Structure 1
Amino acid sequence: MDNGAIENLLQTRVLDGKRIAEQIQNEIKEEICKWVDRGHRKPCLKAILVGDDPASKTYVGKKMIASESVGVDSEAIRLPSSISEDDLIEKIKQLNSDDSVDGILVQLPLPEHVSERNVCNAVDPHKDVDGFHVTNVGRLTLNMDSFIPCTALAVIELIKRSQIETFGKNVVVCGRSKNVGLPISLILHSDARNECPGMEATVVLCHRHTPPEQLEIYAKTADIIISATGVVGLIKPHMVKPGACVIDVGITRVKTPEGKTKLVGDVEFEGVRKVAGAITPVPGGVGPITVAMLMSNTFKAARNLAATKATEQQ
Structure 2
Amino acid sequence: MTAPDGDPDSAPLGRHEGRVHISARHRGIDAATAVHLALHIPNALFSLLIVIAVSLLLGQLTALSPWAWTGLWSLSGSLAFWRPAENVIARLFMGMHHPTERELARLTPLWHEVTARAGVDASVYTLWVEESSDINAAATGGHMVSVTTHAVEQLPDGQLAAVLAHELGHHVGGHAWSALLAYWYSLPGRLTWRLLHTVVVRARERSRITAEVIVLALIAGAVFAVVITNGLILLLVAAPFLIRAVGRHAELRADRYASGLGLTTHLTALLSGPLATEGTDIEDARTTGPWAVLARLLASHPDSRARLYALRRHSERQH
TM-score (norm 2): 0.24
Greater helix proportion: 2
Which TM-score applies when normalising by structure 1?
A: 0.24
Structure having the higher strand fraction is: 1
Structure of larger gyration radius? 2
